[in-house]
Amino acid sequence: MGLREDAKQARRQNIVLAARNMMRETGDSGFSMRILARKAGVSIATPYNLFGSKQEILYAVLDADLASYQERLGALRVDPLERIFRSITVATSLYSEQPGFYRAVLVALYKDSGSELRTMFSGPRQVVMQNLVRNAKLAGYLRSSMCVDAVARNLSYVFFAGILEWVSGLISLSEFEVRVQYGVGLTLSGAASEEHRHTLDSRVGTLQQQLANSEARPKQRIRLRPASYGQPETLVHTAL
């Protein structure tokens, strides 16, 4: 790669990072291209020349986020079954680090009147889930009769149902993690091979107890208070 191409790639990365930071700071995916160019240290024409549109920049942001998620997931040294549960933990960790960014992305997904943005977000992540389920099946944790795609889709439904509750401020991230893992455990228990069903049933029982303990505590609504540029977003807790 030549110096010119290196410089072009660096500008692309700066623009993607600036877009992500703006979404994190404002909690909004509808960023200004003029402000984006200024924060990335490029001319107003550069984002259009390199990406073509604001939508393409958003896609690039999502691609970079998926790469970060996969990198963390790949660093885990656990068995294929545990990796499925840990995939939820990794996602929760990312959301807790930058809640403003992820709320902006997820709100944009569910407000989008078309399906293209949702497909760009959910499609590659569905492939990740399919690979996780496939590896668990190949390792003997799931019955040979189980359809990888069907199980993976059901797990994704559970995951996105939890996301909707978190984005709506109905549950905290810690409760999100337990609720989604509980739903994942129920699905996997139903698909488990005879050898591993007892282990999964035991895990589901533990998660169910954690949920019961959580529901016994006073409930609060959680919402994100967007901050001005350069300031961190803050979580606000109000009684229901």
Is the pLDDT at 240 greater than 70? The verdict is no
194-216 and 80-97 are packed helices; what angle lies between their axes, rounded to 10 degrees? Answer: 30
Q: Which top CATH class is 66-239?
A: mainly alpha
Would you list the domain boundaries of the chain?
66-239
Which residues in the chain belong to E strands, given as ranges?
220-225, 234-239
Q: d(Cα 74, Cα 68) in Å, to the nearest integer? A: 10
Residue 44 CB coordination number (10 Å) = 12
Prediction pTM value: 0.83
Report pLDDT digits (tens) over 41-74. 999 999 999 999 988 998 899 999 999 999 999 9
Tell how far CA 147 is from the center of its chain.
24
Position 135: which residue type? Answer: N
Report pLDDT digits (tens) over 195-229. 999 999 999 999 999 999 887 665 555 454 544 44
The residue among 164, 161, 212, 214 whose CA lies nearest residue 184 is 161
CB 124 within 8 A of CB 130: no
